Amino acid sequence: MDLASLTTPCALVDRARVERNTSRMSERMRALGVRMRPHVKTHKCVEAARLQVRGHFGGITVSTLAEAAFFAAAGFRDITYAFPLAIPAIARAAAVARAVEHLHVLVDQDVVVTALEAYAAEHAAAAANPHAARFSVFLKLDCGYHRAGVDPASPDAVRLAERLARSPAIDFRGVLAHAGHSYDCRDADAIRTVARSERDVTVAFAERLRRRGIAAPEVSIGSTPTMSLATDLAGVTEVRPGNYVFYDAFQAAIGSCTLEDAAFSVLTTIVGQYPEQNKLIVDAGALALSKDPGATHVDPDCGFGVVFTADGSRQLQELHVASLSQEHGQVHGSRPLRFGDYPVGSRLRIVPNHSCLAAALYDRYHVVDAGRVIQEWRPTHGW
């Protein structure tokens, strides 16, 4: 299929770049001596996940139980649900766990442990089997992001780990952290600093548990920025980067990658010229690109994506995605535009600020190789 035949806006995935991104990250992690449990939330599709796990043990990370069930049905047998487990979701998590070899969940609240134990006791009694509903659990650790997780400096964190380790309802897997604050960095050197801290904080806490006689077999970390640039992962057992499959304009802005690594883009059509405002209107609005503001701490005027020619071969630096409404994208000129270069009906390609959010807006990705559509990948949706 030719790109010209596609209805816009539509999602494009560059197959060669996905292959390169996944191979490079896999090779980096093997060289650093850790196994990959890649996150699949960026794309939510089976084909990309299979590329991510090549050469590793096959485990994956998901962000919703809908993703967990979808990938379990596709044959993935070892899944970490990397979102703090909600009490009403315990029964759903148990159902997914029965369909796979391993489903690992995250806990950072005592009350959730109480609920897990109550659920396990009830189902063990009903099945006359003390292990009928045993849960594999990671303790979620805050390594500096301050979004969720226990404070590693707090005595309460150790007490919760002790409770998990001695609970008859729980198989305590270890500690898990995510350096989301790496997205606040401005350059590669700053990311490397966060990567060292992510490793040091998490490994040190696991060692603290072990000194108290608490087994912590797994030390799981990893954001795309930190894993793209980390140079030493001593003490870490597994890593969970995800966005690196596609990368995006945000990652390029903070130094995790270059724009040549961005594998996800949105094909859009110019629907209007407005010379008096020095702007174009395209059919890719907020429901095509998302309204992620991008790396405004690096460039306050970064806009809502980076504009390329329709074939993706050349960045159009004079074009700036200045504003989005639901279906409209306003593309302004950074200098007086030559409107003859951008006729109504012609097309552009936009690399979004955040590929995870933009990709989630589409029911299919058109996989492109050498300018031709060679496949369609269908992601899952929902929670």
Same domain, 116 and 183: yes
pLDDT of residue 365: 98
pLDDT of residue 1: 85
- Give the CATH number for residue 305: 2.40.37.20
CA-closest candidate to residue 246, choices 49, 14, 51? 14
Same domain, 283 and 232: no
- CB count within 10 Å of CB 6 equals 17
Does residue 224 lie in a domain region? yes
Same domain, 94 and 192: yes
- CB count within 10 Å of CB 33 equals 11
Task: Give residue-wise pLDDT tens across range 243-264.
Answer: 999 999 999 999 999 999 999 9
Does residue 252 lie in a domain region? no
Instruction: For residue 59, give the 3-state DSSP assignment.
Output: coil
**Domain total in the chain:** 2
Same domain, 175 and 296: no
pLDDT of residue 129: 57
User: Which residue bears the tokens 């548990």?
Assistant: 209
Look up residue 97 and give its two tokens.
């766990």
Same domain, 269 and 237: no
Task: Give residue-wise pLDDT tens across range 115-173.
Answer: 999 999 998 777 655 555 799 999 999 999 999 999 999 999 999 999 999 999 999 99
CA-closest candidate to residue 34, choices 276, 238, 196? 238
Does residue 373 lie in a domain region? yes
Same domain, 206 and 328: no
Does residue 267 lie in a domain region? yes
Q: Are 55 and 73 in contact (CB under 8 A)?
A: no
Same domain, 312 and 220: no
Identity of residue 304: F
Same domain, 202 and 279: no
pLDDT of residue 122: 92
Domain range enclosing 325 = 259-377
Peptide bond into 9 cis (omega under 30): yes
Number of Cα atoms under 13 Å in the Cβ half of residue 330: 11
Query: Which segments of the chain have a pLDDT < 50?
Result: none
The one-character DSSP state at 341 is G
Does residue 4 lie in a domain region? no
Distance CA 252, CA 263 (A): 12
Look up residue 380 and give its two tokens.
């899952």
How large is the C-alpha radius of gyration of the chain?
22
Same domain, 130 and 183: yes
Q: How far is CA 13 from the centre of its chain?
A: 16
- Give the CATH number for residue 139: 3.20.20.10
Angle at 361 between CA 355 and CA 364, to 5 degrees: 95
**Which of 194, 215, 241 delimits the end of a domain?**
241
Contacts 24+ apart (CB under 8 A), 58-62: 59/35, 59/102, 59/238, 61/37, 61/240, 61/242
CA-closest candidate to residue 325, choices 274, 360, 280, 291? 291
Give the C-alpha distances (Å, rounded to integers) separating 215 from 102, 110, 138, 170, 372. 19, 19, 12, 13, 52
Average pLDDT of the chain to the nearest whole number: 97
Does residue 32 lie in a domain region? no
Does residue 268 lie in a domain region? yes
Same domain, 210 and 72: yes
- CB count within 10 Å of CB 311 equals 12
Same domain, 225 and 324: no
Does residue 9 lie in a domain region? no
Same domain, 237 and 135: yes
pLDDT of residue 130: 54
Angle at 143 between CA 139 and CA 145, to 5 degrees: 110
